[in-house]
C-alpha cells in the first residue's frame, strides 16, 4: 500500500495540509515560540469561592531567585477598557467577563488573583508557592439545588415563556411522557492547554501568540481592553490543539499576561495548568430539564413542553439555546418552552460543542424514545410520523433538509430491522445488547469574511484569511475549494491562516467556518479568474475562425491553464498569462457575505446517530460496540476531514453519555476532579470503529458552495442514542448523565 499515512489517495480526498506538521511536532502552538528575553508567568488562583482579598504577602516571592514581578489588584495597571461599574453586588450582566486584577473581590474558587513572573518557568512556580493571601470569606453558593430554593433566576425578556398553540398541551394527550433529565457540568479539556505569549512593542503596540478559535475576535478583545487601534494589535494562532468552544472567548489569563508583560517590560509566556482549565476557560453548564410530551394513540405529537434550569456565574450572564431544539426538531402544533438560569459563585460557563442543542437534544431525544415505547411504535417510525417539512419555529421553508435520507441510510447500515424491539431481549454471550437512535439539529448560517487570492507567475496559488483552525480541517477544506475553483493543482495551492493581519475571516465557532469562509474563498477565486481572463482574452490562441471575442463562458480553467471549451488544444497556462503581462503575481481581496434570499429560509444541519451497546449485567459496564453516525451538512467539501469531525463528535458523545462530569464540592465551591485522571474522557479502548455516513447533498440556498456545517451537530443527539440503547438492552432508563455503572446495577 506504500506510504499510506500521507498517501493522497488513501481514504477519500487529500490528507490534511497540516497533518504532517502536527503529527511530527513541527507545528508551532501558541506556547512554542522562542522570543528573546522571554519570561514565564504562573497564575495563582483563589482558594475561596466568595469574599475578598484582605492582604497579600509577596515579599519572599519577590526576593526569590529569578522572580521579576508579583502582580495582583494591588499593583496592576488600570486596564482602560475595563468597566469599573462591574461589582459583585450587581448580579450578572451580559458579555462582561471577569476583569482580572481589577478589584479585591473573589467571585469563584479558582479565580486568577495574582501572576508571578520569573526568568524560568520553574522559578515562577516556586515564586508562586511563596505568595500568601488573607481572605475575608463570605458564604458562597455553588449548588444549583440550593440556588433554586434561595435565589431568583436572572431576569429579562429573553426568559419569557415561549408558547406556540396551546400552552402545556401535552397534559391532555392520549399518551404522554413526563420526565426530568440532567446534564452535569462538562469541561472542554482540549489536549492543548490554553496559553499565550504576550509581547509589548513599545507602549501601545502588542503582539500575542494565542490559543484561540478566532484571531480577529481575540484581536478585537485586546483592542477593547487596552483601547488600541487595530493595526497595533497582532494575534498569531497558527495551530490550535483543540478548543470545542473553550477558545471562543478571550479569557482573563490573556489580559493578565498582557498586564504582566507591560509591567515588567518583557514578553511573558503564560500556560494554564490542567486544574485551571476547569475554572478559567468556561464549561458546559449543569442543566436540569423537564420534558412533557404527548401524542395521539397513532403517534402524532400534540404537545411538547420543554423546561430547562441552568446556571451562570454571579458576575456574568450566559445563556444557550437548550430548549429551542424542541421548537424545531419535530412537527408539533403546541410547543411550550421555559428557560431560566441561576447565578452561582462559579466562573462563567461558555459554549461547548453543540452548545444548548446538545443538552436539549439529550432530553428531547430520550423523551421521544420513551414515548415510542409507550406507543409501541418503532422510534424511527415515530420520528417519521412527526417529520417537520418546514421550520415550525420561524414559519419558513428549509433551505434544505435531508434528515429522512439520514434516518434511512443509518438504519440500513446498522441493521435496524434486525433489532428485536423487546427490551432486554437481545444478548451476546454474557452481555446484554441494545440498539438506540438519537438525532440532532444545529443552525447553519453564513457570515461575512474577506479573503485574498494571489496567483504567482510559477502557477502556484496562495489564499489567505484571518481564521483559526482548531482541528476541523479548515486549511484543508479551503485549499480544496481554492484549488477546485481556480483550477490549480492541490499541491500548488496554499491556504494561509492564523494571523490577525490577514484579511478578516470569521471566528471558528457555531459550525459556520466552511459556509462563511468557504464561500469567500470561492468568491475571491472566481474574481481572480475574471482578472486572469482579462489578461488572457486577447491572446491569439483563443481566436479561431468562429470566435473573435472570446467570453469567460467559452473558457475552462483547469490544471493551471485556460482552455477553449470548444477546442481543448487551444490553451494558455496561468504562468504564460502572467509572464506575458510582465507580472510576477496577480491578486485580489474581496469581502463575501450572504444575500437577502437566504433570509427567506431556515437553514439547519441534521445528524442521526445509531449505536449498538453491550451492557454487562454483573458490572454495569457499558461498551459501545458499533456507531453509525450520519450527517446532512449539505455539500461535503473535504470528505476526510468531515468524517473526522463526525468521529470527534461521536467520541465526545461517548464522553457525554458515559463519563464526563465535573464534580464540585459545595462545601468549598471547588472542582474536585479537575484533572484528566479523575475527569474521564474516552480513550481508544472506549471507542469502536466509527462508521460515518455523509449524506452529501448540496444546500442550494445557503451559499454558493452548498455546504452547511457539522462541528456542533456531530455531537447533538448522541448521548440520547446511547441512553436509548442502554434502555433497550436493560430496561433501565438513565436520565441523569453520565450513565455510569452504579446507575445500572
Query: Which residues does the annotation mark as catalytic?
Result: 712
Out of 61, 70, 329, 352, which residue is the one contacting ligand MOS (CB under 6 A)?
A: 352
Q: How far is the CB of 419 from ligand MOS (least distance, A)?
A: 33
CB of 318 within 8 A of CB of 350?
A: yes
Is position 245 an interface residue for ligand MOS (rule: CB under 6 A)? Answer: yes
Residue 295: count other Cβ atoms within 10 Å of its Cβ. 27
| 388-to-142, 205, 248, 391 alpha-carbon distances in Å | 40, 53, 32, 7
Using the minimum distance from each CB to ligand MOS, give the nearer residue, 117 or 308: 308
Q: How far is the CB of 319 from ligand MOS (least distance, A)?
A: 14
Using the minimum distance from each CB to ligand MOS, give the nearer residue, 318 or 373: 318
Q: Taking contact as CB under 6 A, which single stretch among the options 241-249, 272-280, 488-496, 717-725 is the one that binds ligand MOS?
A: 241-249
**Pairing between β-strand 175-183 and β-strand 112-118 as defined by DSSP bridges:** unpaired
Q: How far is the CB of 266 from ligand MOS (least distance, A)?
A: 33
**Pairing between β-strand 561-564 and β-strand 268-271 as defined by DSSP bridges:** unpaired
Bridge partners (DSSP) of residue 137 are: 51
The site that binds ligand MOS (CB under 6 A) totals a number of residues, namely 12
Q: How far is the CB of 310 from ligand MOS (least distance, A)?
A: 15
* The 3-state secondary structure of 519-586, one letter per residue: HHHHHHHHHHHHHHHHHHCCCHHHCCCCCCCCCHHHEEEECCEEEECCEEEEEEEHHHHHHHCCCCEE
Is position 31 an interface residue for ligand MOS (rule: CB under 6 A)? Answer: no
Residue 335: count other Cβ atoms within 10 Å of its Cβ. 25
**Pairing between β-strand 301-313 and β-strand 287-295 as defined by DSSP bridges:** antiparallel
Q: How far is the CB of 596 from ligand MOS (least distance, A)?
A: 26
Q: How far is the CB of 222 from ligand MOS (least distance, A)?
A: 20
Bridge partners (DSSP) of residue 343 are: 312
Using the minimum distance from each CB to ligand MOS, give the nearer residue, 110 or 355: 355
Q: Taking contact as CB under 6 A, which single stretch among the options 145-153, 237-245, 612-620, 653-661 is the one that binds ligand MOS?
A: 237-245
* The 3-state secondary structure of 11-74, one letter per residue: CCCCCCCCHHHHHHCCCCCHHHCCCCCCEEEEEEECCCCCEEEEEEECHHHHHCCCEEEEECCC
Q: How far is the CB of 211 from ligand MOS (least distance, A)?
A: 13
Using the minimum distance from each CB to ligand MOS, give the nearer residue, 111 or 324: 324
Using the minimum distance from each CB to ligand MOS, give the nearer residue, 455 or 517: 517
Report the residue closest to ligand MOS, judged by CB. 245
CA torsion sign, 266 to 272 to 276 to 279?
positive
Using the minimum distance from each CB to ligand MOS, give the nearer residue, 248 or 532: 248
Q: Taking contact as CB under 6 A, which single stretch among the options 240-248, 284-292, 448-456, 526-534 is the one that binds ligand MOS?
A: 240-248
Under rule CB under 6 A, which residues in 376-395 are in contact with ligand MOS?
A: none
CB of 506 within 8 A of CB of 516?
A: yes
Q: Taking contact as CB under 6 A, which single stretch among the options 233-241, 340-348, 351-359, 375-383 is the one that binds ligand MOS?
A: 351-359
Out of 200, 244, 286, 402, which residue is the one contacting ligand MOS (CB under 6 A)?
A: 244
Q: How far is the CB of 107 from ligand MOS (least distance, A)?
A: 23
CA torsion sign, 636 to 640 to 643 to 647?
negative
Q: Taking contact as CB under 6 A, which single stretch among the options 239-247, 286-294, 398-406, 623-631 is the one that binds ligand MOS?
A: 239-247
Out of 355, 447, 649, 709, which residue is the one contacting ligand MOS (CB under 6 A)?
A: 355
**Cell numbers found for residue 233:** 494589535
Long-range contacts of 557-561 (CB under 8 A, 24+ apart): 557/486, 557/487, 557/529, 557/532, 558/487, 559/487, 559/489, 560/459, 560/487, 560/488, 560/489, 560/492, 561/487
- What separation, in Å, do the N-terminal and C-terminal C-alpha atoms of the chain show? 47
Q: Specify the DSSP class assigned to residue 656.
A: I
Say which residue the cell 483550477 belongs to. 487
Using the minimum distance from each CB to ligand MOS, give the nearer residue, 92 or 355: 355
Q: How far is the CB of 712 from ligand MOS (least distance, A)?
A: 6
Using the minimum distance from each CB to ligand MOS, give the nearer residue, 445 or 494: 445
Using the minimum distance from each CB to ligand MOS, give the nearer residue, 188 or 450: 188
Is position 353 an interface residue for ligand MOS (rule: CB under 6 A)? Answer: yes
Is position 241 an interface residue for ligand MOS (rule: CB under 6 A)? Answer: no
**Cell numbers found for residue 438:** 438519537
Q: Specify the DSSP class assigned to residue 398.
A: B
Q: Taking contact as CB under 6 A, which single stretch among the options 2-10, 279-287, 345-353, 476-484 is the one that binds ligand MOS?
A: 345-353
**Cell numbers found for residue 666:** 459545595
Going by C-alpha positions, the residue among 377, 314, 392, 318 that lies closest to residue 669 is 314
Out of 69, 127, 190, 243, which residue is the one contacting ligand MOS (CB under 6 A)?
A: 243
Under rule CB under 6 A, which residues in 697-726 are in contact with ligand MOS?
A: 712
Q: Taking contact as CB under 6 A, which single stretch among the options 9-17, 87-95, 348-356, 702-710 is the one that binds ligand MOS?
A: 348-356
Under rule CB under 6 A, which residues in 496-515 are in contact with ligand MOS?
A: 509-510
Q: How far is the CB of 188 from ligand MOS (least distance, A)?
A: 8
Q: How far is the C-alpha of 558 from the C-alpha of 228, rounded, in Å?
A: 45
Using the minimum distance from each CB to ligand MOS, give the nearer residue, 357 or 691: 357
Q: How far is the CB of 450 from ligand MOS (least distance, A)?
A: 20
Out of 31, 49, 106, 248, which residue is the one contacting ligand MOS (CB under 6 A)?
A: 248
Residue 743, SS3 per DSSP:
helix
Q: Taking contact as CB under 6 A, which single stretch among the options 242-250, 408-416, 527-535, 617-625 is the one that binds ligand MOS?
A: 242-250
Cis peptide before 392 (omega within 30 of 0): no
Q: How far is the C-alpha of 626 from the C-alpha of 56, rounded, in Å?
A: 55
Going by C-alpha positions, the residue among 480, 295, 448, 446 that lies closest to residue 375 is 295
Say which residue the cell 484543508 belongs to. 476
Q: How far is the CB of 519 from ligand MOS (least distance, A)?
A: 18
Say which residue the cell 504532517 belongs to. 20
Using the minimum distance from each CB to ligand MOS, give the nearer residue, 245 or 505: 245
Q: How far is the C-alpha of 490 from the C-alpha of 484, rounded, in Å?
A: 8
Binding-residue pattern over the window 454 to 493 for ligand MOS, x denoting contact by CB under 6 A: ----------------------------------------
Q: How far is the C-alpha of 736 from the C-alpha of 657, rounded, in Å?
A: 9
Using the minimum distance from each CB to ligand MOS, give the nearer residue, 193 or 586: 193
CB of 639 within 8 A of CB of 693?
A: no
Q: Taking contact as CB under 6 A, which single stretch among the options 175-183, 195-203, 243-251, 310-318 is the one that binds ligand MOS?
A: 243-251
Q: How far is the CB of 603 from ligand MOS (least distance, A)?
A: 16
Residue 644: count other Cβ atoms within 10 Å of its Cβ. 20
Using the minimum distance from each CB to ligand MOS, give the nearer residue, 262 or 321: 321
Is position 351 an interface residue for ligand MOS (rule: CB under 6 A)? Answer: yes
Half-sphere exposure of residue 700: CA atoms within 13 angstroms, side-chain side: 3
Under rule CB under 6 A, which residues in 174-213 are in contact with ligand MOS?
A: 213
Residue 237, SS3 per DSSP:
coil
Residue ranges that bind ligand MOS, judged by CB under 6 A: 213, 243-245, 248, 351-353, 355, 509-510, 712
Amino acid at each position: 500500500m506504500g506510504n499510506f499515512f500521507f498517501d493522497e489517495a488513501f481514504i477519500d480526498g487529500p490528507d490534511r495540509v497540516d497533518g504532517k506538521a502536527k503529527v511530527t511536532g513541527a507545528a508551532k502552538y501558541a506556547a512554542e515560540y522562542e522570543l528573546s528575553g522571554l519570561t514565564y508567568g504562573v497564575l495563582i488562583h483563589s482558594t475561596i469561592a466568595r469574599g475578598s482579598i484582605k492582604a497579600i504577602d509577596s515579599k519572599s516571592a519577590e526576593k526569590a531567585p529569578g522572580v521579576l514581578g508579583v502582580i495582583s489588584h494591588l499593583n496592576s495597571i488600570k486596564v482602560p477598557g475595563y468597566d469599573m461599574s462591574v461589582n459583585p453586588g450587581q448580579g450578572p450582566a451580559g458579555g462582561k467577563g471577569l476583569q482580572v486584577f481589577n478589584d479585591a473581590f473573589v467571585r469563584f474558587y479558582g479565580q486568577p488573583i495574582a501572576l508571578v513572573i520569573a526568568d524560568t518557568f520553574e522559578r515562577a512556580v516556586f515564586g508562586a508557592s511563596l505568595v500568601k493571601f488573607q481572605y475575608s470569606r463570605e458564604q458562597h453558593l455553588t449548588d444549583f439545588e440550593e440556588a433554586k430554593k434561595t435565589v431568583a433566576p436572572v431576569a429579562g425578556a429573553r426568559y419569557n415563556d415561549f408558547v406556540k398553540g396551546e400552552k402545556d398541551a401535552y397534559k391532555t394527550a392520549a399518551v404522554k411522557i413526563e420526565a426530568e433529565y440532567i446534564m452535569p457540568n462538562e469541561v472542554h479539556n482540549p489536549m492543548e492547554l490554553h496559553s499565550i505569549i504576550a509581547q509589548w512593542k513599545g507602549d501601545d503596540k502588542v503582539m500575542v501568540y494565542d490559543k484561540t478559535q478566532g484571531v480577529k475576535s481575540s484581536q478585537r478583545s485586546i483592542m477593547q481592553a487596552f483601547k488600541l487601534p487595530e493595526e497595533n494589535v497582532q494575534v498569531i494562532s497558527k495551530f490550535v490543539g483543540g478548543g470545542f468552544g473553550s477558545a471562543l472567548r478571550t479569557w482573563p489569563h490573556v489580559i493578565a499576561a498582557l498586564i504582566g508583560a507591560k509591567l515588567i517590560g518583557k514578553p511573558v509566556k503564560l500556560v494554564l495548568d490542567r486544574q485551571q482549565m476547569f475554572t478559567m476557560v468556561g464549561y458546559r453548564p449543569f442543566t436540569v430539564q423537564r420534558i412533557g410530551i404527548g401524542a395521539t394513540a397513532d403517534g402524532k405529537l400534540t404537545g411538547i413542553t420543554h423546561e430547562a434550569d441552568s446556571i451562570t456565574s454571579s458576575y456574568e450572564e450566559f445563556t444557550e439555546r437548550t430548549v429551542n431544539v424542541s421548537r424545531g426538531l419535530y412537527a408539533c402544533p403546541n410547543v411550550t418552552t421555559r428557560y431560566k438560569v441561576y447565578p452561582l459563585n462559579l466562573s462563567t460557563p461558555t459554549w461547548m460543542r453543540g452548545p444548548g442543542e446538545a443538552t436539549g437534544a439529550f432530553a428531547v431525544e430520550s423523551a421521544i424514545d420513551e414515548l415510542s415505547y409507550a406507543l409501541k411504535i418503532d422510534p424511527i417510525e415515530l420520528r417519521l410520523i412527526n417529520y417537520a417539512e418546514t421550520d415550525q419555529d420561524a414559519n419558513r421553508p428549509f433551505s434544505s433538509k435531508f434528515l429522512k435520507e439520514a434516518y434511512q441510510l443509518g438504519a440500513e447500515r446498522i441493521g435496524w430491522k434486525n433489532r428485536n424491539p423487546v427490551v432486554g431481549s437481545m444478548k451476546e454471550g454474557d452481555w446484554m445488547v441494545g440498539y438506540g437512535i438519537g438525532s440532532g439539529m444545529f443552525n447553519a448560517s453564513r457570515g461575512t469574511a474577506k479573503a485574498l487570492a494571489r496567483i504567482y507567475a510559477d502557477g502556484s496559488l496562495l489564499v489567505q484569511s484571518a481564521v483559526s483552525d482548531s482541528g476541523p480541517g479548515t486549511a484543508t477544506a479551503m485549499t480544496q475549494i481554492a484549488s477546485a475553483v481556480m483550477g490549480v493543482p492541490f499541491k500548488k495551492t496554499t491556504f494561509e491562516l492564523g494571523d490577525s493581519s490577514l484579511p478578516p475571516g470569521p471566528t471558528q465557532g457555531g459550525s459556520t467556518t466552511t459556509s462563511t469562509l468557504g464561500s469567500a474563498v470561492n468568491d475571491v477565486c472566481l474574481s481572480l479568474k475574471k482578472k486572469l481572463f482579462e489578461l488572457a482574452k486577447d491572446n491569439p490562441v483563443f481566436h479561431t475562425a468562429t470566435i473573435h471575442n472570446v467570453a469567460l463562458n467559452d473558457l475552462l480553467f483547469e490544471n493551471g491553464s485556460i482552455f477553449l471549451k470548444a477546442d481543448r488544444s487551444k490553451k494558455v497556462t496561468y504562468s504564460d498569462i502572467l509572464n506575458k503581462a510582465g507580472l510576477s503575481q496577480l491578486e485580489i481581496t474581496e469581502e463575501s457575505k450572504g444575500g437577502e434570499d437566504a433570509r427567506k429560509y431556515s437553514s439547519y444541519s441534521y445528524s442521526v446517530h445509531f449505536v449498538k451497546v453491550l451492557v454487562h449485567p454483573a458490572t454495569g459496564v457499558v461498551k459501545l460496540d458499533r456507531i453509525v453516525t450520519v450527517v446532512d451538512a449539505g455539500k461535503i467539501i473535504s470528505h476526510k476531514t468531515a468524517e473526522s469531525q463526525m468521529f470527534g463528535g461521536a467520541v465526545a458523545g461517548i464522553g457525554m453519555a458515559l463519563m464526563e462530569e465535573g464534580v464540585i464540592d459545595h462545601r468549598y465551591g471547588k472542582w474536585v476532579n479537575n484533572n484528566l485522571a479523575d475527569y474521564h474522557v474516552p480513550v481508544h479502548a472506549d471507542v469502536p470503529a466509527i462508521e460515518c455516513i455523509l449524506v452529501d447533498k448540496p444546500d442550494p440556498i445557503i451559499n454558493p458552495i452548498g455546504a452547511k456545517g457539522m462541528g456542533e451537530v456531530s455531537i447533538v443527539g448522541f448521548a440520547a442514542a446511547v441512553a436509548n440503547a442502554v434502555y433497550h438492552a436493560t430496561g433501565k432508563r438513565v436520565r441523569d448523565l453520565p450513565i455510569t455503572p452504579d446507575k445500572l446495577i
